[in-house]
Amino acid sequence: MHHANHYYGHSYVMARYCGFPGDPPRIRGYLQHGWNIGDGLAPDHEYVPGVPSFVWSERTRRRAWSMGRRRVHVTGAPLAYLLAMTPPSPEPREGTIWYPFHGWEGQHVQGDHDRLIADIKDTEPGPVTVCLYWQEYRTASVRRRYERAGFRVICHGYRGGWWKDLDPGFLDRQLGELLRHQRVASNRLCSAVLYGALAGCEPAVYSDPMQLRDEKDLFGGRQRIRRQWAALHGTRVDPEVARAVAVDELGADRLLTPAELRALFGWSGSRTVPPLLEPEAVA
């Protein structure tokens, strides 16, 4: 199995949905692990030609096809499956969960955190939870800056890598946090904002977008994102419009049955399948 299939516990969520508890069987192909505006696959990863790709949306499948990729299947995002398996919470929502744009192991983010903090304080009406990527969370100078601002600072965990330090509960923790907050925001349109919109949060994208060291704008990059998804940018975004975009981008209206997923992934055998809730119950 490609190691990126395990990122954020995605393979575990899909296995759970298909009735396989514990360690997931090997997915025979590449599972999209984050929202992007290309073919759904990470440009810095190596892929074997001809191996199937499992992407989140029909829009992404069409882009992949136009780039010459074949054997591309729409499965929907793992978060959409997890949300469909999660009963609604009786607890009221409160405040905002804010996701600052982050770096990764190969590139560190560069930007003005103090300016971002000031914009958050000027914009958010209720208590704020700032969720940092593990890299920034472990950087004390960054984490303490947000803590000193009076924000609750958390980290969903380590995404895993190269089949080590896997975290099956990452996506569960992220969805749990989204479901307890009224708003979700970031300084760039990203997976977390779309997840929040699908989970019923009021989304927002504002402030300094920051940048990665030696960042390259692939597939049109930041300018294309702001142009194509303009309705999702700003301090106040129409939640119905945002939810419709999230459903489309995350393939939440294209979820497959456990039997269909098992066939696509090359999984065999039958297990107990958890109930799939109606979308209205988790909106």
At 107, the pLDDT band (50, 70, 90 cuts) reads: low
Class of domain 96-247: alpha beta
pLDDT in tens, 122-138: 999 889 999 998 888 88
pLDDT in tens, 206-235: 998 777 666 566 655 678 899 999 999 999
Minimum mean pLDDT among 102-106, 113-117, 121-125, 194-198: which range?
Answer: 102-106
What integer pLDDT is reported at residue 283 of this predicted model?
33
What integer pLDDT is reported at residue 147 of this predicted model?
97
Domain ranges of the chain: 3-86+251-275, 96-247
| 279 or 78, which is more confident | 78
Within 10 A of 208 (CB to CB), how many other CB atoms are there?
Answer: 15
Average pLDDT over residues 159-174: 78
pLDDT in tens, 2-13: 788 899 999 999
Minimum mean pLDDT among 56-65, 152-161, 162-171: which range?
Answer: 162-171
pLDDT at 54 over 70: yes
Give the per-residue SS3 of the chain. Answer: CCHHHHHHHHHHHHHHHCCCCCCCCCCCCEECCCCCCCCCCCCCCCCCCCCCEEECCHHHHHHHHHCCCCCEEECCCHHHHHHHHCCCCCCCCCCEEEECCCCECCECEECCHHHHHHHHHHHCCCCEEEECCHHHHCCHHHHHHHHHCCCEEECCCCCCECCECCCCCHHHHHHHHHHHCCEEEECCCCHHHHHHHHCCCEEEECCCCCEECCCCCHHHHHHHHHHHCHHHCECCCCHHHHHHHHHHHHCCCCCCCHHHHHHHHCCCCCCCCCCCCCHHHHC
Minimum mean pLDDT among 89-98, 129-138, 239-248, 271-280: which range?
Answer: 271-280
| Residue from 155, 115, 150 nearest 135 by CA | 155
Residue 92 neighbours by CB under 8 Å, 6+ apart: none
CA quadruple 283, 63, 235, 131: dihedral sign: positive
What integer pLDDT is reported at residue 220 of this predicted model?
56
What integer pLDDT is reported at residue 213 of this predicted model?
61
What integer pLDDT is reported at residue 278 of this predicted model?
45
Give the predicted TM-score (pTM) of the model. Answer: 0.89
Greatest CA span in the chain, whole angstroms? 54
Average pLDDT over residues 157-167: 69
What integer pLDDT is reported at residue 224 of this predicted model?
87
pLDDT in tens, 188-207: 999 999 999 999 999 999 99
Structural contact between residues 235 and 206, judged by C-beta atoms closer than 8 angstroms: yes
| 243 or 270, which is more confident | 243
